[in-house]
Structure formats: structure tokens, C-alpha cells
Structure 1
């Protein structure tokens, strides 16, 4: 038997999960499996803190912050640093696939950025958040957001310039 809290949370998940997966996929530079794991961790943490989430002045900011914290926690896991996830196990070594379209090229270029820089770009340019909201989501100062964004854009330009297969048409 569901109580009111469970029903509210269920409705929240039904309406917001797809957007969370999309954001998590961008934050992980296209790693769909890690994105799903992050969303599950985020929803678990959110369920535990549901009353605090409902009282939050900025629920979207609260949600973004929980998602970024889940990503940070995941990146700190010792086994994550040695694991290279693959869709299929190759029989022999294969060359990296050359991304053919805009989305693949962008994801490939985003993988070259550290997670905080990538998060700053995703929140600022994909979700069009202002500097203050991005700083709130990342748990840093507005100046840090500005510098991380500028450095990330510089690195993206360099990566794209060095590797024509990342060319964004």
C-alpha cells in the first residue's frame, strides 16, 4: 500500500526521469550505462531526502546538485579508475571508432574534459543556466564557474582543432 510520499515520489520519477538521464548522459560524455547508474543513485538519495527536497527553494537546483554529487562520488571509487566499460567485448584490439555526426563528435570531444569542466559546460550551455545557478549545482563560487567554463571551451577548441574526426559540422 502506497502512502502519499511514495505516490508523490512516483509521480516525480515518472515526469522527471527522462530529463535526468539526458543530463547524466551529457555529464558522463555519452556513457549511457554510467548515466543510468547516476540517475539511480540520485533518485535513491532523493527519496531518502524527499521532505528536504519538497521544502527546497530551488528544487531544480537541489536535483542538479544531487546528480553532480553522485557523479563525483562515482568518480572517486577506486575500481572506476581502472575499469574501461565497453558495449561488446572485442576478440582482438580494435581502433577507436571515428565519430561521424555532430552528437558523436561532441561527446567524443567532451570525454577529453575533466568532469567539473564538462559539468560547467553542460549546465551553462546545454541547459542555459546562469552562472549563479551553475555555481549552486556544482557547489563552487561564480568565479570558479566562469574560469572552468572558459578553460573548458579553450580545451574543446584545442581538442577539436587537433583531431579532425571530432569536427563539429
Structure 2
């Protein structure tokens, strides 16, 4: 079976950038299997648009944007998964954990506990180094909402990591 230049070029792109894109997908979803699904869906959309993407240097941005859009669509379709309860769950603090543990692992856990919009805003701001206006366009929210969302998310992360200021 002979492949086209388009398929070879796409395959090479996925080989070269796949691991980094998977890490970004994992930061957006918080779950490894969901991240794989999200990336696969975004790469499918990218492949279908491959001939229309003239600037090959913008491919990562195209795929990341597709991942964010797909993830937002999934949020909107998802039913409420949390239900009110008469009893509060037992609270565990990071201070009670082994502080000498892997800081990266603690941060990953704290990120996983954030609501999805907060996690997406933090990932786009600090992992993808996007500006607030770029995040607002990507998430379809106002710049003010981005600022307040990032601020509240950082406060939650500081609290979860025992870094109250």
C-alpha cells in the first residue's frame, strides 16, 4: 500500500509532536485515557484540515485549539456528575502528606481537583504561555472572566499545596 506525501507528512508530524501534544491534552482533561481520546479527536480534525493549513509552524496551535474546543464541547454535553450531600467529605491537607514528596506529583493532583474551566485556564496560561486575551478567545469567555478564573484557580492550588499567602 502506497502512502501519499500528505499522509507521510502528517505521520511525521504526529511522531515528532505527539508526546508534547499528549501532555497538553492530559493537562486539559486530567485523565490519561481521556487525554488520548481528546488528542486523537483533535488529530483527526487536523488531518481533515491538513491541506488548508498553510503555515506548518502553526500546527501545534491548531491542534491545541482543536483540543480546547473539543474539550469545551464535552463539558457542555456532560451531565452533572456531582450531587449535593448532607455530609461533607473528610478533608485531607497537603501539609499532612509527606512534604518531601515529588512536588510535580502534588501539583498534578491539585490540578486534577480543579474544575475543568479552571484547569483549562491554568494550563493555557502557565503551560502554553498564552496571554489573557488569547485564553479568552480560546475558551470563548471574556478577559475579565479569564482573570478571575485564573486568580481563583491559583488560590485553590496554593491552598491545596499548603502555600497560603
Q: 1:136 matched to which residue of 2?
A: 137
Say which SS state the counterpart of residue 107 (structure 1) adopts.
helix
Quote how far apart the aligned CAs of 1:158 are.
2.9
Please, which runs of 5 or more residues in structure 2 have no aligned partner?
83-91
Normalised to the residue count of structure 2, the TM-score between the two structures is: 0.73
Matched, 1:33 2:33: yes
In the alignment, structure 1 segments of 5+ residues that lack a partner are 83-95, 162-166
Q: Distance in 2 between matches of 1:147 and 1:101?
A: 29
Q: Deviations over 1:7-48 (max 9, x none)?
A: 22112211211111111111223x211111111111111112
TM-score normalised to the size of structure 1? 0.71
Contact 2:38/2:71, CA 8 A, preserved across alignment: yes
State the distance in 2 between where 1:20 and 1:37 align: 12
Contact map agreement 2:69 2:138 (CA 8 A) in 1: no
C-alpha distance in 2 between matches for 1:123 and 1:12 = 22
Contact 1:135 1:141 in 2 (8 A): yes
Relative to structure 2, which stretch is displaced further, 38-47 or 2-11? 2-11
The equivalent of 1:61 in structure 2 is 61
Whether contact under 8 Å (1:75, 1:81) holds in the other structure is: no
- Structure-1 separation of matches of 2:52 and 2:143: 25
The Cα RMSD (Å) is 2.9
Q: Is the 8 A contact 1:64 1:137 kept in 2?
A: no
Q: Would the aligned equivalents of 1:65 and 1:136 in 2 still touch at CA under 8 Å?
A: no
Q: Secondary structure of the residue that 1:145 maps to in structure 2?
A: helix
CA contact (8 A) 2:26 2:32 kept: yes
